[in-house]
Amino acid sequence: MIETTTAASLTTSGLTRRFGAFTAVNNVNINVKEGEIRAVIGPNGAGKTTLFNLMTGHIHPSAGEVRMGNHVISGRRAHEVAQMGVTRAFQTTNIFPSMTVHENVVTALLGFSRRTVRFWTRPGEQVEKRADEVLDLVGLYEHRNHKAGILAHGDQRALELAIALAPSPKILLLDEPTAGMSPYETQKSVDLLRKIWRELKLTIILSEHDMDVVFGMAQQITVLVGGSVLAEGEPSAVRSNPEVISAYLGGVDE
């Protein structure tokens, strides 16, 4: 079959991760469709970041599996999962402050390519061009020669996004994309993420505590509590679910 989309589905089956006697992610079954925007919400310690780490190969399951389309991706290492098409922007800032914005993207792409193209020797024109393309996409082109360390927090997060988008992922994971942002930066960031989703048509999975962001972006929401899925569905159904309200939404400022 000819692939008509650049997105891919992501499915977890019986996904479980224990740390010693503690179960952080407990028998999670999620099916995110191609091109969907899915939010994973839940209280602090619910297991959202652990779930993302399992989806990207940064940690491996104690039981169950993760599939991208028909391919099992759990058990593979993070760089292999990234090459297969799942990338992420980290919850904490993950850039080199003394390098320029452009160098940050080029360096990340080279690290990525070195593992794909065995005998890569020096930055190719394609890498430079791709870096500029994604910087333009996230609105950082004019900052390309500035040191990343002097960027505003919101722009640093946009740079992380550019790095995650540079290898053309099918699935993008965002762990608290607006954490620590001002209301203005948050709105800019939501607009940017919507634009990226529209233009690239990729699958986006995000975790987020800001309910305006969640309800403004997500098409489907999964509520995680104590490592297990408490509820799942369209935003309107999740918002009015009494169990969700008492376990989480009741305590979140909307």
Ligand X SMILES: Nc1ncnc2c1ncn2[C@@H]1O[C@H](COP(=O)(O)OP(=O)(O)OP(=O)(O)O)[C@@H](O)[C@H]1O
Strand partners, 11: 31, 67
Considering the rule CB under 6 A, would residue 24 count as an interface residue with ligand X?
Answer: yes
Q: What is the nearest approach in angstroms of ligand X to the Cβ of residue 199?
A: 29
Task: Output 52 or 197, the one with its CB closest to ligand X.
Answer: 52
Task: Please state the closest distance from residue 102 (CB atom) to ligand X, in A.
Answer: 31
Closest contact distance (angstroms) between CB of 146 and ligand X is 30
Distance separating alpha carbons of residues 130 and 163, to the nearest angstrom: 10
Per CB under 6 A, 48 contacts ligand X: yes
Nearer to ligand X, 55 or 95 (CB): 55
The single residue listed with the structure tokens 């001002």 is 182
Query: Rounded CA gap, 81 and 95, in Å?
Result: 20
Cβ nearer to ligand X, comparing 155 with 176? 176
Judged by beta carbon, residue 25 or residue 202, the one nearer Mg ion is: 25
Q: Does 49 bind ligand X (CB under 6 A)?
A: yes
Binding of ligand X at residue 47 (CB under 6 A)? yes
Q: How far is CA 35 from CA 43, 99, 178, 204, in A?
A: 26, 33, 21, 7
Give residue for tokens 């090459």: 83
Q: Which residues of 23-37 are buried (b: 16+ CB within 10 A; e: fewer)?
A: bbbbebebebebbbb
Binding mask of the shown chain, residues 44 to 63, with x at each position contacting Mg ion by CB under 5 A: ----xx--------------
Contact string 224-243 vs ligand X (x = CB under 6 A)? --------------------
Q: Shortest Cβ contact with Mg ion: which residue?
A: 49
Residue 120 engages ligand X in binding (rule: CB under 6 A): no
Q: Which among Mg ion, ligand X, none contacts residue 120 (Cβ within 5 to 8 A by kind)? A: none
Closest CA to 158 of 214, 98, 110, 95: 95
CA-wise closest residue to 161 among 191, 193, 185: 193
For residue 46, the Cα-to-chain-centroid distance in whole angstroms is: 17
Cβ-based neighbours of 34, under 8 Å, separated by 6 or more: 5, 7, 8, 9, 203
CA dist., res. 81 & res. 223, Å (int): 25
Query: Pick from ligand X, Mg ion, none: which does 44 bind, CB < 5 to 8 A by kind?
Result: ligand X
Binding partner of 156, given ligand X, Mg ion, none, CB within 5-8 angstroms per partner class: none
Using alpha carbons only, give the angle 241, 90, 68 rounded to the nearest 5 degrees: 70
- Name the residue type at position 55: M
Residue 145 near which of ligand X, Mg ion, none (CB within 5-8 Å, type-dependent):
none
- Selection from Mg ion, ligand X, none that 119 binds (CB < 5 to 8 A by kind) is none
Q: What is the contact surface with Mg ion in residues (CB under 5 A)?
A: 48-49
Q: What is the contact surface with ligand X in residues (CB under 6 A)?
A: 19, 22, 24, 42, 44-50
